[in-house]
Amino acid sequence: MSTYLGPTLWIAAGVVSLLLVIFLLQRLVRARLERRVFERFSDEQIIHKDLWANYFGRSQEGLSQIRGNGVLVLTDSALWFMLAIPRREIEIPLDTMTRVTTARSHLKKARLRPLLLVEFDTPQGPDSIAWALHEPEAWVETIETARMKACARAESAGKGRSTL
């Protein structure tokens, strides 16, 4: 019995070490993402944010694209996302959004919990992006409220679309 104890302890130590490295790297990446958010936005601009949103891809880019974690920020004019690795930014102006809802899958990638799904118009045509994040239903409500306010601001300024 004691002959198995040595290798078992080494394996356990290796697994614990690997988990610790992953945890520390994740904290480092999150700190970098948060620093980037505060370089780009003031506290007053940020309506809602998630520092670990899981990007499920963009429909215009097809099925084979990099998925990954990043930061998602809602402001009074746009939904902004930065993928952590590789570093990539996406900005969706609120007035281009055509639908904000939840879904169980996007681009043939499914999940048991709901995803935040945002459909929007681009010069190239309709597009959509989905994210797995905490409380997607709350995100839908918050984005819809921001869209209504943006639409009201645009109407009062005499420009922009009058329909959501």
Phi, psi (rounded to 5 degrees) for 154: -65, -40
Cis peptide upstream of residue 86 (ω within 30 degrees of 0): yes
Q: Where are the domains of the chain?
A: 43-156
Distance (Å, whole) CA 46 – CA 41: 7
Banded model confidence at residue 116, pLDDT cuts 50, 70, 90: very high
The reported pLDDT for the residue numbered 162 is 47
CB-based burial label for 116 (10 Å; 0-12, 13-18, 19+)? buried
Task: Name which of 14-18, 27-31, 157-161 the model is least confident about.
Answer: 157-161
The reported pLDDT for the residue numbered 86 is 84
> 134-155: per-residue pLDDT in tens?
999 999 999 999 999 998 888 8
The reported pLDDT for the residue numbered 22 is 73
The reported pLDDT for the residue numbered 118 is 98
Whether pLDDT at 2 is above 70 = no
Q: CATH number of the domain at 43-156, please?
A: 2.30.29.30
> 76-92: per-residue pLDDT in tens?
999 999 998 888 999 99
Q: Which residue has the tokens 């070490």?
A: 17
Whether pLDDT at 6 is above 70 = yes
Decide which of 25 and 114 is more confident.
114
